[in-house]
Amino acid sequence: MCEFNIIIVTILKDKVRPVFPFTAIVGQEEMKLALLLNVIDPKIGGVMIMGDRGTGKSTTIRAIADLLPKIEVVQDDLFNSHPSDYDLMSDSVKSQIESSNHLPTRFIDVPMVDLPLGATEDRVCGTIDIEKALSEGVKTFEPGLLAKANRGILYVDEVNLLDDHLVDILLDAAASGWNTVEREGISVRHPARFVLVGSGNPEEGELRPQLLDRFGMHAEIRTVKEPSLRVKIVEQRSKFDSNPYICLEEFRDKQDELKSSIIAAQQRLPDVKIDYDLRVKISEVCGTLDVDGLRGDIVTNRAAKAYAAYKNKTKVDINDIKTVITLCLRHRLRKDPLETIDSGYKVQQVVDNILN
């Protein structure tokens, strides 16, 4: 009997903690679409999710990470380096490739890294052991959260409460795809390609407009009001909590179908085209809304292409743009830190006039 109990405990320890299936999430279509488009094209620049407490923000973000296919990494590498893409390799892996033809690799789940509110800059960026460097001449780097998040998702809950300096570091790394740590004249640089996802409650304050503009998309979520939908959400959650493995089995086909759609969209994305006339209309909308800079134009173009790829198309049409443009522009209209973010009404008015 004792041996049987030991076997059961071992099996449970070996099992990965189950994650609520993405396809079982009811409602919150804006948030789900923004996350899907960002994993199809990480160059969109991440997503800021703002909304009421208890609306499934964290659950949905973890669910999208669990949905993604495994990635191939160089074995024992600290930065999840890609075995063949130079842009996704650390310097040590590059030097090993130059001196050797083969590096052992393995497949891992897409990294899903949580950044805690109390994190320090060293915890986020990593640290260089100065003492060892000076005494032994060895450049020793202790990787931070940006290294662990490379080729994955970096999630910052309550990002609006995070120190502005740290938010700046995250956004710079997300935009450039690299993290550089410099201490006492010693510098270490490593790839940091990740989808940055921030969430928060607007009642606790908004990010400064300059920082908010750096997020590719902004999704708003609200508490579901319709009683039947609320009941469905509660039932789904209760079913998962009582027996997650039965729930996962129930949604396995839908999960596999969505996973295949994401992989196909990622492969199709380089071939998706958008006509010049439509690009002009996107820029006309941005100009009419007085959007500062060109980030709004760039992100809308990328998001429209990603959506077209997701819909199994190689050419963007006007409906693709209409679907994504509010997500890409609503947070760029706020000029004054004291203003609230437009819910999308202003964007929709201009879109209806120009994209008809």
Question: What residues act catalytically?
Answer: 295
H or E element, residue 14: helix 2-14
Which element (helix H / strand E) includes 155? strand 152-157
Helices marked H in 289-341 — which ranges? 295-310, 318-329
**Beta-bridge partners for 187:** 182
Find the distance separating the first CA and the last CA of the chain, reported in whole Å: 72
Element (H, E) at 142: strand 141-143
Side chain identity at 307, as an amino acid letter?
Y
Which residue bears the tokens 């903690």? 17
Report in angstroms the alpha-carbon separations of 100 from 94, 103, 104.
10, 7, 11
Query: How many other CB atoms sit within 10 Å of the CB of residue 182?
Result: 11
Radius of gyration of the chain (CA): 22
Helix axes 318-329, 295-310, angle to 10 degrees: 130
Alpha carbons within 13 angstroms on the beta-carbon side of residue 341 total 28
**What single string gives the DSSP state of each residue in 205-248?**
----HHHHTTSSEEEEE-----HHHHHHHHHHHHHHHH-HHHHH
Query: What distance in Å separates the CA atoms of residue 313 and residue 271, rounded to the nearest whole number?
Result: 9
Phi and psi at residue 341, in whole multiples of 5°?
-75, 135
